[in-house]
Amino acid sequence: MSGIGIGIVGAAGRMGQMLARESRAASMRIVGATEAPGSAALGKDVGELAGLGAIGVLIGDDPLPLFASADVVLDFTAPAATRRHAEIAAQAKCPMVIGTTGLEEEDLDVIARAAQHTPIMRAANTSMGVTLLMSVIRQMAASLDEDFDIEIVEMHHRLKVDAPSGTALALGEAAAAGRKVKLARVADRGRDGLTGQRKRGAIGFAALRGGNVPGDHTVIFAADDERIEVTHRAGNRAIFARGALKAAHWIQGRKPGLYSMNDVLGIAG
């Protein structure tokens, strides 16, 4: 992996700092780093901020030079920022790895248009374990009929601002794809008060928040007299950074297009 120059947008955030730390183990060079205008991190050395010691790369607020100089840019920011970054990536023909969650349809449309001009890998969760879990859930949902109710439970740290998590929704999409239905038609994202009986075929979501949990996800298939539970627990955000850096290596030399972690790991479907 040596020789790949990465740019990190949102470099002062939790994931930005983790990407910086893990880049050393992946033998990648940080060639640029940015933060939002007004951030207290502006002008600081990204290596020092991440606990690596000074590396001579100062955090700026202009992403244009970063996209012009990097071999690939990694983005774990916020939807509005990611939209702008995707448009810049398209102009600069710079490959991009996106791990931003909370993206709406309009955000995805912008990313898809940008991917017509440069390769972009987007995933709600860049963990290799979660990528495999999604594949398994799709197969299970295809094999188990609607006698098995599907419920997805996720827990994250108290600072997370979107719910259900992007990973939980992606797991819901995988289950819906296995049953050949649209998640929007069968999703049940909130129960409170007298909700009536559970609808057959629904895919339910429950979101828990507390502490500093990086991310726990459980998919439950519940039928009369039997229940299957499949769980992934993230012990450290480093797993997301490692997957993203693996994707950054994989995307080098790819044709323009929108890719997923399935592509990175060679998982069919």
List the one residue out of 239, 251, 237 whose CA is nearest residue 89.
251
Token pair recorded at residue 2 = 């040596």
Q: What is residue 72's DSSP assignment?
A: E
List the one residue out of 170, 147, 148 whose CA is nearest residue 222.
148
Neighbours of 118 (CB within 10 A): 24
Tell me, yes or no, if 93 is annotated catalytic.
no
Cα 38 off chain centre by: 26
Dist. CA 137–CA 178, nearest whole Å: 8
* Catalytic pick among 93, 117, 157, 160: 160
Tell me, yes or no, if 156 is annotated catalytic.
yes
13 within 8 A of 77, measured Cβ to Cβ:
yes
Of all helices (H) and strands (E), which one includes residue 139?
helix 128-143
* Catalytic pick among 156, 217, 232, 246: 156
Name residue, tokens 């898809």: 112
Q: Is the peptide bond before 164 cis (omega within 30 degrees of 0)?
A: yes
Q: Known catalytic residues?
A: 156, 160
